[in-house]
């Protein structure tokens, strides 16, 4: 599968637990973006990462949320002490280096997080 | 900051007919990209079409084409010969070079058989 992979596809957590969402970018891609989609809304940007670097985290909530993209392995979006308002679909997208068509972002299938 | 506006929340089209989805945006940038993404009931985000702002020629992908009016900051999507599988949510999105996507609120397209 050469596409963007996300797991798990569905995640259920109780309030106060931690949620870890994983994203493996498309082969050859080194840029990863995380977006959140609340019910009946469009996607909102959260964070943009390159390998071992956070490039733009202007959309990340200040508390409880963190993201990383290590040198080896997938990108991780971590939500600590989840609350019901965190219930949403979380999408990861990846793009390649350079300009032009390489910048097109391709999306994974998303992780649906439900907080009980 | 960039904004993307999709003012029509939903539209309906008869199968085999043509439909146009509207999108406007606001930016002070001169170099940027515009996209239409499709989100079917599976909720997967699928790229439909892409337009570079520096290109005057409108992008076309099979039955999908855009009308890009840079001065008016308008970027509409035309779907020709509509098919049942076109029924989905469609999002217009703006992107500066090597940056995040800014999405509109989306439009729900239904296709009548």
| pLDDT, tens digit (0-9, with 9 covering 90-100), for A59-85 | 999 999 999 999 999 999 999 999 999
> pLDDT value at position A28?
85
The pair of three-digit structure tokens given for residue A7, joined into one six-digit string: 């797991």
* A71 touches A78 (CB < 8 A): no
Distance, in Å, from the CA atom of A59 to the CA atom of B79, rounded to the nearest integer, reads: 32
Query: Distance from A43 to chain B by nearest Cα, in Å?
Result: 6
pLDDT-derived band of residue A100, with 50, 70 and 90 as boundaries?
Answer: low
Residue A62: exposure state from Cβ atoms within 10 A (0-12, 13-18, ≥19): exposed
- Which pLDDT score is estimated for B97? 79
Residue identified by tokens 């999002």 is B91
Those residues of chain A whose CB sits closer than 8 Å to some CB in chain B are 31, 33, 35, 37, 41-45, 48, 56, 59, 89, 91, 93, 99-101, 103-107, 109-110, 112
A95 closest CA partner among B26, B68, B95: B95
Structure tokens at A17: 């637990």
User: In the predicted model, is pLDDT for residue B42 greater than 70?
Assistant: yes
**Whole-number percent of chain A with pLDDT over 70:** 94
**Alpha-carbon Rg for chain B in angstroms:** 13
CA distance A105 to chain B (A): 8
Average pLDDT over residues B85-96: 95
Residue B98 structure tokens: 């090597």
């Amino acid at each position: 599968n050469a596409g963007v992979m996300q797991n798990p596809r569905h995640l259920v957590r109780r309030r106060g637990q931690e949620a870890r969402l994983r994203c493996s970018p498309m082969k050859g891609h080194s840029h990863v973006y995380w977006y959140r989609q609340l019910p009946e809304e469009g996607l909102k940007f959260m964070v943009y990462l390159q390998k071992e670097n956070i490039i733009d985290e202007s959309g990340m909530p200040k508390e409880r949320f963190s993201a990383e993209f290590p040198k080896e392995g997938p990108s991780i979006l971590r939500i600590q002490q989840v609350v019901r308002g965190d219930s949403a679909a979380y999408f990861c997208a990846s793009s390649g280096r350079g300009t032009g068509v390489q910048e097109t972002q391709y999306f994974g299938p998303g992780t649906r997080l439900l907080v009980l | 900051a960039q904004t993307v506006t999709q003012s029509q929340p939903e539209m309906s089209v008869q199968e085999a007919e043509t439909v146009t989805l509207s999108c406007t945006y606001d930016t002070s940038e001169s170099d940027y990209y515009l996209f239409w993404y499709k989100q079917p009931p599976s909720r997967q985000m699928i790229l439909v079409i892409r337009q570079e702002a520096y290109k005057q020629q409108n992008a076309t992908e099979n039955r999908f084409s855009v009308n890009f009016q840079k001065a008016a900051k308008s970027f509409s999507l035309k779907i020709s010969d509509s098919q049942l599988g076109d029924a989905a949510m469609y999002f217009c999105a703006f992107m500066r070079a090597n940056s995040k996507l800014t999405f509109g609120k989306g439009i729900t397209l239904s296709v009548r058989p």
